Structure 1
Amino acid sequence: MRSEFDKYADEYTQEIDKAASVSGEKFNYFVETRIKLVKNALKGSIPGKILDYGCGIGITEIFFKRYFPMAQIWGIDTSTDSINKAKSLKLQRVNFDKPKRFKDNTFDVIYSNGTFHHINHDKHLKILADFHRILKPGGKVFIFENNPYNPLMMKVMRECRLDKDAKVITSDRLENVMKKAGFKVKKGHYYLFFPKALSMLRFLEKYMKRLPIGAQYYVQGVK
């Protein structure tokens, strides 16, 4: 069965660049920003095994390797065409595959960006409970999502072909579901407040992380 995202595998970065053009930034900027946030949140801890849930065409793994060069990384996605494109990157110590069952206590970090808004909300708890199972004790999950309270982000999503089926999720709701799944949850962290034209103000973002107006947010859970 083909995934909806198979038809976008060859155009994925172009679609994101087009949708986000109002920000003045390109796809790779957003990816690297997220990985930097993960690295900062880990506070010097070096993960041995990382899972990227909804890895798409594998661009995130390029940055994971840059910031965590010794980590072994798994990227999973329902789109066969995206997985094949990711495999063509031939990244060392990176495995790309369709979703499968992992053993208990396997990963130090689980990361997911922009995947949960493509999944029916009534399935989130089951997925997060499985994340809890496959994380090692003390392991961390980072779920990145688009902020429903940011009108510009909502405009971008309405105009992006990749998000035509999207069902956005608030930080508060995601936090509650993660708690039900067994995680100790840290309050949502908002970011992407300033476009490239105002990049000189981005140093302020670390003081604004609790303001629910950033274009994206992430919620961190600890097993």
Structure 2
Amino acid sequence: MAAPFDSYSATYDDVVQRSIAFSGVRHEVFLLAKVRELAGIFERHFGPRPPDLLDVGCGIGAMHEPLQPITRSLSGCDLSADCLATARQRHPAIDYRAQDGNDLPWPDASFDATLAVCVFHHVPPAERRALLGQMARVTRPDGLVLLIEHNPWNPLTRLAVARCDLDDDAILLRAGESRRLLREAGLRDVRSHHFLLAPSAARWAGMCEAPFRALPLGAQYVAFGRV
């Protein structure tokens, strides 16, 4: 994964925006919608105390500015040295570390929550269990492990993936596959829901699509479980 993403470290935002240009929506809207979903999950699970969060496969840290207000501390790791250099330049206060294969460079139980956003569809299927095991390892007891992934049942999502140079190696996962991986990693209370049925980061959008979250309609989904 490292080499292809190294070559896009300076152009990542533009590449992603071109892939979704047909939607008429800026990439930032999709990022903020993810943060909105995470904020709700964190509030329900952790209450008023924000979590210490690790973002696995963080790339250039595109989500990190809006993530900071809903976390107590934020760390990130990636295989790409060039992407990490860009992330450090953008967010010098965040702890970024290089990832060695599937091994995460932190001790056991270092974080309240670990997150991988649109990462696992780049991970070869035979290696997914190992990476998820590492995410569980560095998560504290009763903490959360979360995956946000593209919904392969959504035709517009498939179009965006087909148009994105970064996704040439993508093997998309259905929500059921992500839940299975979480259970195989020993996580409890595993669940998932779809979101981005309407491409908006506004709170009303989340409220309107809430009745349909169990259906595979939204552009993306979040799957998560408790350590």
Report the TM-score, using the length of structure 2 for normalisation: 0.89
Residue among 105, 108, 131 paired with 1:104: 108
Q: Is the 8 A contact 1:54 1:78 kept in 2?
A: yes
Give the distance between the partners of 2:9 and 2:97, measured in 1 at CA: 15
Change (3 A) 1:95 1:186: same
Q: Is the 8 A contact 2:195 2:209 kept in 1?
A: yes
For 1:189, the aligned partner's letter is H
Displacement after TM superposition at 1:86 (Å): 0.5
Displacement after TM superposition at 1:74 (Å): 1.1
The equivalent residue for 1:38 is 38
Give the distance between the partners of 2:178 and 2:149, measured in 1 at CA: 9
Structure 2 residue 95 is the aligned partner of structure 1 residue 95: yes
Structure 2 residue 161 is the aligned partner of structure 1 residue 160: no
The equivalent residue for 1:149 is 153
Change (3 A) 1:165 1:95: same
Alignment of 1:1-223 (within 5 A): 3-42=3-42, 43=44, 44-68=47-71, 71-92=72-93, 94-99=94-99, 100-195=104-199, 203-223=207-227
Q: Give the share of equivalent positions with the same residue, in percent.
A: 26
Structure 2 segments unaligned to the other structure (5+ residues): none
Q: Is the 8 A contact 1:108 1:140 kept in 2?
A: yes
Deviation per CA, 1:148-170, whole angstroms, max 9, x where unpaired?
Answer: 11111111111110101101111
Secondary structure, in 3 states, of the residue corresponding to 2:213? Answer: coil
Change (3 A) 1:130 1:202: closer
Secondary structure, in 3 states, of the residue corresponding to 1:210? Answer: coil
* 59-68 vs 6-15, which moves further: 59-68
The CA RMSD measured in Å over matched residues stands at 1.9
Report the TM-score, using the length of structure 1 for normalisation: 0.91
Name the count of aligned residue pairs: 218
Q: Is the 8 A contact 1:53 1:75 kept in 2?
A: yes
Change (3 A) 1:58 1:128: same
Q: Is the 8 A contact 1:190 1:215 kept in 2?
A: yes
* 6-15 vs 17-26, which moves further: 17-26
Give the distance between the partners of 2:209 and 2:217, measured in 1 at CA: 11
Displacement after TM superposition at 1:48 (Å): 4.1
Q: Is the 8 A contact 2:29 2:199 kept in 1?
A: no
Deviation per CA, 1:59-92, whole angstroms, max 9, x where unpaired?
Answer: 2111111333xx2211111111110001101343
Structure 1 segments unaligned to the other structure (5+ residues): none
Secondary structure, in 3 states, of the residue corresponding to 1:8? Answer: coil
Displacement after TM superposition at 1:185 (Å): 3.9
Displacement after TM superposition at 1:204 (Å): 1.4
Secondary structure, in 3 states, of the residue corresponding to 1:4? Answer: helix
For 2:212, the aligned partner's letter is M
Q: Is the 8 A contact 1:24 1:195 kept in 2?
A: no
Give the distance between the partners of 1:201 and 1:72, measured in 2 at CA: 28
Displacement after TM superposition at 1:134 (Å): 1.1
Q: Is the 8 A contact 2:147 2:224 kept in 1?
A: yes
Deviating above 4 A after TM superposition, structure 1's stretches of 4 or more consecutive aligned residues are: 199-202
